[in-house]
Structure 1
Amino acid sequence: MTSDNFIKIKAPSSKSMSHRALIAGAFSDGSTVVLDPLDSNDINRTMDCLSTMGAEFSVEQNSTVAIGMQGGPRGGAKEPAVLEMRDSGTTCRLLTAIAGAGKGVFRVQGTPRMHDRPIGELTNALESQGVKVTFADKQGYPPVTLESNGFIGGEIEISLEESSQYLSGLLLAAPYAHETTVIKVVGKKAVSWPYVALTLKVMEDFKISFSVEKLKDGQWEKTDWRTVSKVVPGEIRFRVNPSDYQRDSYSVEGDWSNGSYFLAAGAVGTKPVRVEGLAIDSLQGDRAIVDILKAMGAKIESDSSGVTVYPSKLHGIEVDMGLCPDLVPTVAVAAAFADSPTTITNVAHLRIKECDRLDASATEVMRAGGKAEVGDDFIKIIPAPLKKGEKIVFSTYDDHRLAMSTAIFSLAGIEAVAEEPQCVAKSFPDFWKEWDKIKKGNGC
C-alpha cells in the first residue's frame, strides 16, 4: 500500500519514559542529555519540582540537558520547599517518594482534584524510613509536608492496589538510602505492573544496582525482571543498593498511550492509519492496544518503525485491563463501534485518576448514543446507533484522556467537540493538529 492510501501520524514521545529519564538525569553526576523528551504540562511539572530540589535543566529543540543535584534532593531548612504538582498524578507520586529520600522540609501540593487523590499508602512507607509526615487537611491526601534526613534503608512494604507509581517512586529514590533497601509488595492485588518495568529499565540503563526476587518454595530467588509479567503480592520484592545514576545521554521512545487514539481511528474509520515511532517490543503496558484491537477483529500490521491499523468490522470482547488502565477510555469508545458488547474488568483504580474515568467514559459513550454499565471494578459498553449527523459537545472533566478518546466519535459522523480542548496539553499539546489529519483523511 502506498503512502497516499493511509494516514500517517508520528507518535509523541513517551510521557512515562520522559518522567523517569528526566528524574534519573536529575539524580546523575554531571549532565545527561535526554533526547526527544515529551514537551507537555506534566513533564514541565516534573522538571519544575526537580529544579526546586536542586537539579537544573536546559531545554533545547529536540533534547533536554539535565544537570544533576549535588548531594541529592534538597528541601528547605525551616520553611518547606514547595513542590507544586498541579494536576500531574505521576509527578506527585514519583517525586513525593524522591523528596522523602532527600534532606530538608518539602511541601507537596496541587490542584483541588489532586488533593482528592490518595497518597497515604506511599507516605506510610516514607514514615517507615524515618520521614516525618504532616497532612495539612485530610489524612492520607495532599497537601502534605515531609521532613526528612534521607532514607534509612532496610525493609519497606507497599501496596499497589491504588497505583504502581508508589513502587516506582520508592525504587527511583532507594539508591539514595544509607543502606540496601528491600521493597516488598503487599496487599490483595497489584495494578499497572508494566509501568514498574519501565522504571526498572531506566534504573538499569542508568547503572543502578538492584535485583528482583520472587518467592519460590519458601525461598527468595533472584529473577530476571524482564520475565515478570504479573505481580502477586507477598511473592515479589526488590533489592536496591546504594548507587549512583550514570548516563551521558538517553533517548525516549514513542508513546503507546497517546498513539492508541490513532490506532483505534484506523480500526473504526474509513482509511488505514499508520503510527510511526512505536516500538512493537516496547515494555510500555499500553502496547496492549494492538492485542485488544486484534481481539476485537482489527487487521493490524507492524514493523520496526511503526504500526498500521486497517478499517475493520469490530466485535465485543471481555478484557482485563488492570495492566493498561490508560487505554480504557480509548477502548470504551472503540467498543461503541462494535457489533456486540465489550466488558472491561479489573479497573477500579480508574476512579482515582484525573477524574472517575469509569463513570466519565460511560457517560460520554451514552452521550454519543451508545449504552454503558459501570460497576465497582468494570465497565460494559453496549453498542447502539450513534448520533450520526449531530453536533455533540463532549465533557472532558479536565482529563486529557477523555478529551482525546471522545474525538474518535467524529469517525461515526458526529461533529465531536471537546468542552475543554486545551486539557490535552497535559500529555499531548499537538493532539488536535494531528487529529485534523485523521478527520481530513476520513472526509470529516
Structure 2
Amino acid sequence: MTDALLSAARKAGATEADAVAVAAEALSVDVRAGALEHAERAEGVEIGLRVLIGGRQACVSASDRSTRTIEEMAQRAVAMAREAPVDDAVGLAAPDQLADLRDGVGLELEDGRPAPEPDLLLDLALRAEAAALGVEGVRIAEAASASSMTRRLWLAGSNGFSGGYGRSSHGISTVAITGDGTAMERDWASESRVWAEDLPPPEQIGRLAGERTVARRGARKPPTGTFPILYDERVAATLIGHLLSAVNGSAVARGASWLRNDLGQPVLPAGFDLTEDPRLPRYPASRPFDGEGLATAARRIVADGVLQGWTLDLATARKLGMESTASAVRGTSAPPSPGVSNVALTPGTASRDDLIRDMGRGLVVTSMLGASINPTTGDYSRGAAGFWVENGQIAWPVNECTIAGSLREMLMRITAANDLPDWRSHRVPSLLVEGMTVAGS
C-alpha cells in the first residue's frame, strides 16, 4: 500500500514523499445497571501521503485504498504542495540517518491474543460495575466499560525507509456516582495495558472507582489564600506535561515557550531527572523508530534539575541548528511534529501520606477542571477538585476552586513522593508544590 502511494507521488511530480498506512480493529462494551448498554466493533484502514517539492510540502489522507484514490491523492497533494509556502527546514531523513530496527521485535508491543469475544469484555465490564456498586454509599455506576484494540502501522519513504509494527491495547474503566442533585459527586478509575494479562482484575478497578466516589461526599469550596498543593499521582503528570510542552521544538522554534532561553539552566530542583525511553517493553508509547524513520533511544530531558535539550523532529532541529532527537510523531493527515513517548520523573523517598502530613494545611488535587496556561510566560491557572488538609490530615473533599501560580516557580519548588506509577506513558509521582494561590470561598 505505501509502495503504491510513493509510486503515485513520483509519477505526479513529487521530489520526495513518505507514506503511512494504519490498520486498526477495536471492540468496546459498555454496561449499565447490570445489562449491556452499548457494544461497538470497528475496523478500518487509513492511508496518508506527504509530498515535498522544493521546500514545499502537503499532506493528504483517505480511507479508500483503490488505485484510483491513490492516484488522485498523489495528484492533489502535489498540486497543494506547489501552492504551499517554502520552508527550507522540511525534508526527509538522509539514508544514513535511518533506523536499522524496523519492526517491533523485542518491544513486546502486541500480546498476540486473538480479538476477544464480546462476551469476554461484557463479563469484565459487569464485574467492574458490580464491584463499584458494592461500595457502600455508591448510588449508581454511571458507566463501566471494557475494550480491546489492535493497531498496525507501516511507514515508508522515498529515502529508502520501510518499516512497521503492531500494537495491542486493553482497558477497563468505571465511573460511579454518589448523592443526588447539587450534592451529587462522581469519580472514576481506569487502567489500560498493552498486554491483557497485565491488567488488574476488574473488581479492583470498580472498587477503586467506588471508594474514590464515596470519599467525595460533602465536597465544598476551600478557603482562599496561599497554600501548599499536593498534586496526586493521578494528575501530577499534567504539571510535568507543561514542562514537556515548553521544551517541544515547535514551541521553541516559534519563540512561544517560557523556557526558550533556559537550555542548560535549572528547571527542576537538583536531584530530579526527567527521562524518556521509547523502547520499554510492553509500554503504551514504545516504538522502534519515530515518525520519520529515525532510531529511537533513551535520553535525559532534564538531568539533576538542568534542562539538557529540546524535543526535536527533523524540521525543528534544522531550524534550531541541532540534531533530531528522533521524536517525530505523525498521523495520516498531517506532517511530522515533535512529541515524547515513555517519560518518567525521579521519585522521592517520602510517601504521599508523609507529604500530606508535612504540608500541614493545604490542598490535595485529584482532578483538574480546565486550564488557562500562557505558553509564552508560563502563567498558570486551572480549576481543581480534591481534598482539604488540616493539621496534616485530609479533612474534607473540595470542589469548585481555582489554583494559580507561575510554572517556572512551581516546578522549582516541587517535592516528589515515592508513588511512581507503572505502565503509563507519563510516569510521574505525587508532587508537592509550595506556595500556590487557591481561590475558593
TM-score bucket of the superposed structures, by smaller chain:
under 0.3
Query: Considering only CA atoms, is the larger Rg found in Structure 1 or Structure 2?
Result: 2
Q: Using CA pairs below 8 Å that are at least 6 residues apart, which structure has the higher relative contact order?
A: 2
